[in-house]
């Protein structure tokens, strides 16, 4: 078991033991000193966290530094609020000390929310930013619904029944809403970090989650006249403080972005879990009491609308991903031209429709001397040369023609709707002339020289492999004739004295064939 797991387990055990000690220290002689000591212990743990977060902030910049600064401020406010609570143990809970401690706790929650916001990147993609917001709102409304049914509704009614003013009841609502926001952010962060194991981000999120739950329990205890530590509030507070202190002394992540942490598929379905729980609670309320009251229906409606919006955004995202995958599968990433797969598909389609009046031509281009550019000026210069060549080839043909890079320095053009091969030859010659225009790469003036082989099909069962083979034979004839020229295919080239390329062979009669033929 890792040290982090042992630490978390120890923190949980410490929280359970503290709650047990609260249970046994009920006598007037021991209760007050024990509670004062507990508040001081909680303050000390929070100060340990302050020291750790300050140290982390000094080593970071930008949003990350701001996030650690707010984390330190959160822990400092917790520490001060606990020190103030030591004086409230000897007075009634409504004393100025208790109110001041409660206000400081709310300020700590606000700092925690801002700090979590700093952990998220400023997404340039509006859809991603909106989807993250929708996820957070879904969890928030679901938690609010859960809280209203289990704690918030009873607490609100108890506050009013005990003579509390409307302003006090609204303050309770606002405080719980802030705590639900904190819990929603913590759950959202945990869904995207827990698969990476226990780390600083997941520990801090866990601490905030426990502290927010403790805050809701604390408010319920006050409303119902219970001791502040009941409902596990005392032990939970210590657990939250220990988790935060552990997080503050762990190594900060390489990136301040939560999205850079390793995530898992649970990040996709996790926001739906609290939604299902919330809907289940609404169903139970309706089944047991015959009504959901005035608040729950609106919360359910809000959650349902957010679910629909999220599903719409997911559909849009999935469609965009499919388009991206399709593009990557059919295009060369260096030049942006089509690749062999796209060329094969379009050429086979065009060849299937070719006839004696409308043929399909293939021009195979090879850059002369490209290897020398790579060897002399480096691969970056070679890549720039390929991109420039791709742009020039693309503008030299019609919009409906297909240009692809087959690999290395080989390009291919497919022209459809041609009546004679002469048209394709003229396109090839124009393309070679366009490529020959001077350019500067790596501060060096260069000229792209190229050779081309041309073939045409008017039907007759020619497929893309046959056309490429024919164009390849013509291209090698062009290179054999001195390079920088265009040669058209004719059947005699099968017996010509040209080099045999990889993927081709000569049969016993000396005819050049594809290797599989």
pTM for this model (two decimals): 0.61
Look at the block and give the residue holding tokens 């240009």. Answer: 403
> Which pLDDT score, from 0 to 100, does residue 495 have?
63
The one catalytic residue among 332, 409, 462, 472: 409
Query: Which has the closest alpha carbon to 360: 414, 397, 411, 402?
Result: 414
Query: Which has the closest alpha carbon to 462: 392, 361, 334?
Result: 361
> Which pLDDT score, from 0 to 100, does residue 303 have?
78
Told to judge if 409 belongs to the known catalytic residues of this protein, a careful annotator would answer yes
Query: What is the C-alpha separation between 41 and 390, in angstroms, rounded?
Result: 70
* Residue 173 CA to its chain's centroid (Å): 33
The pair of three-digit structure tokens given for residue 120, joined into one six-digit string: 């998220």
Region for residue 232 given its phi and psi (left: phi exceeds 0; alpha: psi -120 to 50; beta: otherwise)? left
Mean pLDDT by 10-residue block, N- to C-terminus, for the chain (517 residues)? 84 93 80 87 94 90 86 93 79 60 84 77 61 78 74 66 59 76 81 69 87 83 79 91 92 54 54 74 77 73 81 82 90 93 91 84 92 88 93 92 92 91 93 92 87 87 84 91 90 66 48 47
Look at the block and give the residue holding tokens 């719980």. Answer: 176
How many CB atoms are located within 10 Å of the residue 334 CB?
13
Write down the domain spans for the chain. Answer: 3-326, 340-514
Is the Cβ–Cβ distance between 484 and 450 less than 8 Å? Answer: yes
Euclidean distance between the first and the last CA atom of the chain, given in angstroms as a whole number: 61
CATH architecture of the domain formed by 340-514: 2-Layer Sandwich (3.30)
Tell whether the torsion through CA atoms of 146, 147, 150 and 154 is positive or negative.
negative
Rounded to the nearest 5°, which phi and psi values hold at 489? -75, 140
> Which pLDDT score, from 0 to 100, does residue 185 have?
82
> Which pLDDT score, from 0 to 100, does residue 194 have?
55
> Which pLDDT score, from 0 to 100, does residue 236 have?
93
> Which pLDDT score, from 0 to 100, does residue 170 have?
67
């Amino acid at each position: 078991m890792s040290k982090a797991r042992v630490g978390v387990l120890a923190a949980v055990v410490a929280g359970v033991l503290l709650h047990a000690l609260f249970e046994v220290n009920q006598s007037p002689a021991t209760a007050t000193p024990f509670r004062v000591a507990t508040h001081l212990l909680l303050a000390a743990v929070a100060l340990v966290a302050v020291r750790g977060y300050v140290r982390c902030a000094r080593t970071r910049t930008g949003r990350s530094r701001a996030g650690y600064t707010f984390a330190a401020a959160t822990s400092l406010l917790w520490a001060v609020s606990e020190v103030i609570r030591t004086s409230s143990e000897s007075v009634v809970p409504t004393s100025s000390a208790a109110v001041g401690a409660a206000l400081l706790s709310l300020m700590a929650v606000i700092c925690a929310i801002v700090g979590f916001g700093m952990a998220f990147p400023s997404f340039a993609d509006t859809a991603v930013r909106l989807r993250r917001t929708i996820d957070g709102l879904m969890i928030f409304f679901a938690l609010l619904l859960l809280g209203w049914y289990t704690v918030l509704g009873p607490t609100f009614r108890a506050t009013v029944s005990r003579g509390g003013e409307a302003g006090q009841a609204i303050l309770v609502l606002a405080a719980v809403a802030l705590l639900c926001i904190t819990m929603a952010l913590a759950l959202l962060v945990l869904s995207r970090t827990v698969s990476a194991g226990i780390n600083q981000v997941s520990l801090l999120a866990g601490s905030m989650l426990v502290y927010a739950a403790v805050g809701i329990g604390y408010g319920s205890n006050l409303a119902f006249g219970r001791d502040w530590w009941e409902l596990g509030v005392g032990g939970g507070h210590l657990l939250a403080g220990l988790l935060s202190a552990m997080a503050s002394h762990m190594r900060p992540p390489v990136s301040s972005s939560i999205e850079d942490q390793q995530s898992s598929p649970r990040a996709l379905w996790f926001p739906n879990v609290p939604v299902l729980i919330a809907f289940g609670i609404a169903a139970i309320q309706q089944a047991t009491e015959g009504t959901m009251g005035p608040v729950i229906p609106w919360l359910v409606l809000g959650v349902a609308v957010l679910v629909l919006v999220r599903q719409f955004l997911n559909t849009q995202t999935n469609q965009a991903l499919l388009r991206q995958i399709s593009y990557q599968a059919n295009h060369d990433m260096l030049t942006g031209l089509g690749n062999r797969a796209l060329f094969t598909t379009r050429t086979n389609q065009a060849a299937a429709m070719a006839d004696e009046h409308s043929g399909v031509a293939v021009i195979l281009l090879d850059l002369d001397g490209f290897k020398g550019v790579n060897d002399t000026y480096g691969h970056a210069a070679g890549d720039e040369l390929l991109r420039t060549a791709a742009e020039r080839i693309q503008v030299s043909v019609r919009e409906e023609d297909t240009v692809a890079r087959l690999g290395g320095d080989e390009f291919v053009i497919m022209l459809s709707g041609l009546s004679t091969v002469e048209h394709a030859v003229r396109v090839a010659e124009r393309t070679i002339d366009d490529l020959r225009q001077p350019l500067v790469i790596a501060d060096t003036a260069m000229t792209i020289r190229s050779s081309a082989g041309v073939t045409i099909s008017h039907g007759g069962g020619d497929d893309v492999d046959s056309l490429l083979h024919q164009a390849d034979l013509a291209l090698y004839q062009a290179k054999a004739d001195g390079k920088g020229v265009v040669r058209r295919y004719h059947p005699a080239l099968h017996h010509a004295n040209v080099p045999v390329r990889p993927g081709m062979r000569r049969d016993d009669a000396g005819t050049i064939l594809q290797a599989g033929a």
